[in-house]
């Protein structure tokens, strides 16, 4: 019995097998013997690539509406009968359409995703009756969440266009169903999206995809320009939410592992739940501080997000945060060691879940990179040296800072008051 138990335990694989090309479409899968399967269609269709503001957000919410095969209602009810879950996720660079379901239902769900990609109708009435209310509620939720809002504003300041484009459409967006249709045609053009599976073998997924998907190559894929970092200051008067400031710096170019280590080094939160941190960042009463590290294909944003009930507490933490950001270059060897270990754990733990695997490795598959394992990313963190870290930290804070304040702008500090 023990032997059979051991035999059934398999190591969870952390990397996709090499992506295969099925008719101009990259297909990659990873099977760790889970009871459920997830198939993701990952397209380079984030707001970074949009021509009109908000169209990527509209496309995300237009997923799983009427197609040539079935209506929006039919899609939902039929998936419910199979017990599957359909979801669409938008990041700044990618749009992921995901179906999660039980083993054995692969054919239905791959066909469903294929029809969503190929033949969604983009009806005007569906846009107005189903998509716009969903957009509106997400925008309302954004306006009630100062942390997310601060990160959105920080991106706009840091990268302006491209990566600076908001994940959310503006309230009363000027986007029409025709705009969404045009964006979708370019987003799901040949070579612009990949199929990623987990819990399904590569050959099975490739066979299903070959049968179901025939990407059109008529529309050109959406384009974007290389990112550069700008920085700046933005203040937004709101009431009701916690006082929020974001202090950060960005760097253009492929994100260096040193920045991940820096974010881990800056994080003042203790590793043990309920433990009391001695970090000066958390000196303010009930003030919370989160280290933010957001890597993209050709830029990264590193910073600290500070939230608290009073502007005075946030100001104290903000001063400590600026000191920590500026003093990071003088890191001690053992501090660097623990920061690297923390960064490695975060990377690995993030890629543990199903969504994490797609988020971490999907873009590499889509970019046609041969290196689709997590080991390489972890190994690059191992190579972080004290000198390299100091240089990266010094270069980072030489840039113009990105500063966002949301809440009581009368009382919240300005960037120069914090010593930026």
Partner 1 sequence: MAGPLGVSLAPYIRSSPTLSKLFTPVAKWYAGGSLYRQYGLLYDDLLIEERPEVQKALSRLTPRQAYDRQFRIKRASQADVLHAPLPRDQWTTPEQDVRYLLPHVQAVESELQEKAKWDNLDVKRK
State the residues that interact with partner 1 by CB under 8 A.
71, 73-74, 77, 81, 124-125, 128
Judged by beta carbon, residue 81 or residue 141, the one nearer partner 1 is 81
Rounded to whole angstroms, how far apart are CA atoms 99 and 83? 11
Q: Kindly tell me the burial class for residue 12, based on how many C-beta atoms sit within 10 Å of its own C-beta (0-12, 13-18, 19 or more).
A: exposed
Rounded to whole angstroms, how far apart are CA atoms 130 and 62? 8
Residues whose CB falls within 8 Å of the CB of residue 187, separated by 6 or more in sequence, listed in order: 43, 44, 45, 49, 59, 95, 193, 221, 222
Judged by beta carbon, residue 77 or residue 103, the one nearer partner 1 is 77
Nearest to 152 by CA among 135, 134, 170: 170
Rounded to whole angstroms, how far apart are CA atoms 333 and 328? 12
Judged by beta carbon, residue 90 or residue 175, the one nearer partner 1 is 175
Q: How far is the CB of 61 from partner 1 (least distance, A)?
A: 19
Hunting for tokens 């599976």 — which residue is that?
197
Judged by beta carbon, residue 125 or residue 398, the one nearer partner 1 is 125
Q: By the 8 A CB rule, do 44 and 90 touch?
A: no
Q: How far is the CB of 125 from partner 1 (least distance, A)?
A: 4
N-to-C CA span, the chain = 64
Q: How far is the CB of 133 from partner 1 (least distance, A)?
A: 14
Per 3-state DSSP, the chain is made up of helix, strand and coil in percentages (nearest 5) of 45, 20, 35
Judged by beta carbon, residue 124 or residue 286, the one nearer partner 1 is 124
Rounded to whole angstroms, how far apart are CA atoms 121 and 344? 44
- Using DSSP, state whether 34 is helix, strand or coil: coil
Q: How far is the CB of 80 from partner 1 (least distance, A)?
A: 9
Judged by beta carbon, residue 66 or residue 372, the one nearer partner 1 is 66
Q: How far is the CB of 123 from partner 1 (least distance, A)?
A: 9
Judged by beta carbon, residue 79 or residue 363, the one nearer partner 1 is 79
Q: Which H or E run contains 404?
A: strand 402-407
Judged by beta carbon, residue 77 or residue 383, the one nearer partner 1 is 77
What Cα–Cα distance (Å) separates residue 31 from each residue in 210, 357, 382? 19, 12, 28
Q: How far is the CB of 68 from partner 1 (least distance, A)?
A: 15
Nearest to 16 by CA among 34, 37, 30, 26: 30
Nearest to 98 by CA among 188, 32, 90: 90
Q: How far is the CB of 78 from partner 1 (least distance, A)?
A: 8
Rg for the chain, CA atoms, rounded: 23
Judged by beta carbon, residue 49 or residue 64, the one nearer partner 1 is 64
Tokens, residue 257: 């592992």
Q: How far is the CB of 122 from partner 1 (least distance, A)?
A: 14
Q: How far is the CB of 52 from partner 1 (least distance, A)?
A: 20
């Amino acid at each position: 019995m023990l032997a059979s138990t051991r035999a059934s335990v398999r190591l969870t694989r952390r990397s996709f097998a090499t992506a295969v090309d099925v008719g101009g479409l990259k297909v990659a899968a990873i099977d760790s013997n889970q009871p459920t399967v997830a198939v993701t269609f990952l397209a380079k269709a984030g707001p970074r690539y949009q021509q009109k503001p908000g169209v990527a957000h509209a496309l995300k919410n237009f997923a799983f509406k009427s197609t040539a095969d079935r209506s929006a209602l039919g899609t939902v009810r039929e998936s419910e009968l199979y017990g599957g879950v359909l979801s669409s996720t938008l990041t700044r660079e990618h749009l992921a359409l995901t179906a999660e379901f039980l083993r054995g239902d692969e054919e239905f769900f791959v066909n469903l995703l294929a029809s969503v990609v190929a033949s969604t109708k983009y009806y005007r009435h569906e846009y107005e009756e189903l998509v716009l209310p969903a957009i509106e509620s997400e925008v309302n939720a954004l306006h009630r969440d100062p942390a997310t809002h601060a990160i959105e504003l920080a991106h706009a300041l840091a990268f302006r266009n491209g990566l600076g484009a908001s994940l959310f459409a503006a309230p009363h967006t000027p986007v029409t169903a025709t705009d969404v249709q045009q964006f979708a045609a370019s987003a799901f053009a040949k070579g612009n999206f990949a199929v990623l599976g987990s819990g399904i073998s590569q050959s099975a997924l490739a066979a299903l995809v070959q049968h179901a998907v025939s990407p059109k190559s008529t529309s050109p894929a959406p384009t974007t320009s290389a990112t550069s970092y700008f920085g700046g200051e933005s203040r937004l008067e709101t009431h009701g939410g916690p006082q929020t400031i974001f202090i950060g710096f960005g760097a253009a170019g492929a994100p260096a592992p040193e920045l991940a280590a820096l974010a881990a080094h800056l994080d003042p939160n203790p590793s043990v739940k309920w433990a009391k941190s001695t970090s000066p960042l958390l000196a303010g009463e009930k003030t919370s501080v989160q280290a933010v590290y957001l890597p993209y294909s050709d830029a990264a944003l590193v910073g600290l997000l500070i939230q608290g009930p009073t502007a005075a507490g946030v100001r104290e933490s903000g001063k400590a945060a600026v000191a920590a950001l500026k003093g990071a270059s003088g890191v001690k060897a053992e501090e660097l060691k623990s920061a690297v270990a923390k960064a490695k754990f975060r990377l690995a733990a993030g890629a543990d879940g199903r969504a994490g695997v797609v988020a971490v490795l999907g873009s590499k598959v889509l970019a046609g990179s041969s290196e689709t394992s997590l080991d390489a990313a972890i190994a690059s963190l191992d190579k972080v040296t004290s000198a390299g870290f100091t240089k990266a930290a010094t270069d980072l804070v030489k840039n113009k800072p990105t500063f966002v304040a949301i809440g009581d702008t009368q009382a919240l500090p300005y960037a120069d008051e914090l010593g930026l």
